[in-house]
Amino acid sequence: MIEKEKLENLFAEIRESLDYHEPDSGHKERFFEKLNAKNTSISDVRGRRIRWIKSLSIAASLALIIALGAYIGNAEPTMEEQVARISPEASNTQFYFANLIEEQVKKLKEEVSPETLKIIDDTLLQLKNLEKDYKELERNLIQGGNSKLILSAMITNFQTRINLLNAVLNQIETIKILKNNSNENTI
């Protein structure tokens, strides 16, 4: 019995000194890599799941496609996150352009009239196609394509959309002036 107590006492005495082993050097780096891999794969899985649901709902509703086409700022947030990881600059640029385009599209929609309906519809369709291209580029970027080329193509895509919107808005201005003028002429 006395012996038994001794053993407990012995361990109480040495408890503080028991952790004398050290992991092999470089263990922090190895852990950091594992941690990184884990955190990345979590957001990947989440992203894939959301994209899948998204694509299903897009297929379900054509109206939603048009809404999404007009509303690129809102589309695919997880894709944006992934792009942001590859190139933060690109995602900042995207944010800036998306806002700009959204504003222009709003302006465009305010101009709807019997005379401009056709050109506006056509513009929205073209924007949608451009956006489809853009999504394709984003996908390529995430899958690890030549990022320099893809990023420059993404910027060109945005610029094309802005140019298109500006051109159409100018044309609408011209149509309005023409209409007013011809109205004046007929009076």
Partner 1 sequence: MSLKNENTDALLELCLKNDQCAQMEIYNRYFKAMYNTAFRILKKNDEAEDVMQESFLSAFTKLHTFKGEVAFGAWLKRIVINNSIKSYRAQQKKNEVALESIIHKVKDYDEVTSDHAFSELKAQKVMETMEQLRDNYRISLTLHLIEGFDYEEISSIMNISYANCRTTISRAKESLRRKLQISQ
Interaction site with partner 1 (CB under 8 A): 3-4, 6-8, 10-11, 13-24, 27-28, 30-32, 34-36, 38-39, 42
Phi, psi of 61 (to 5 degrees): -135, 120
CB of 129 to partner 1, least distance (A): 37
Closest C-alpha among 91, 124, 94 to residue 106: 124
CB of 77 to partner 1, least distance (A): 17
- Whether 124 and 69 have beta carbons less than 8 Å apart is answered as yes
Q: Which is nearer to partner 1, 20 or 63 (CB)?
A: 20
Count how many Cα atoms sit within 13 Å of the Cα of residue 97 in the half-sphere of its side chain: 20
CB of 81 to partner 1, least distance (A): 12
Closest C-alpha among 123, 89, 79 to residue 104: 123
Q: Which is nearer to partner 1, 36 or 156 (CB)?
A: 36
C-alpha span between 98 and 82 (Å, rounded) = 17
Q: Which is nearer to partner 1, 14 or 63 (CB)?
A: 14
CB of 144 to partner 1, least distance (A): 22
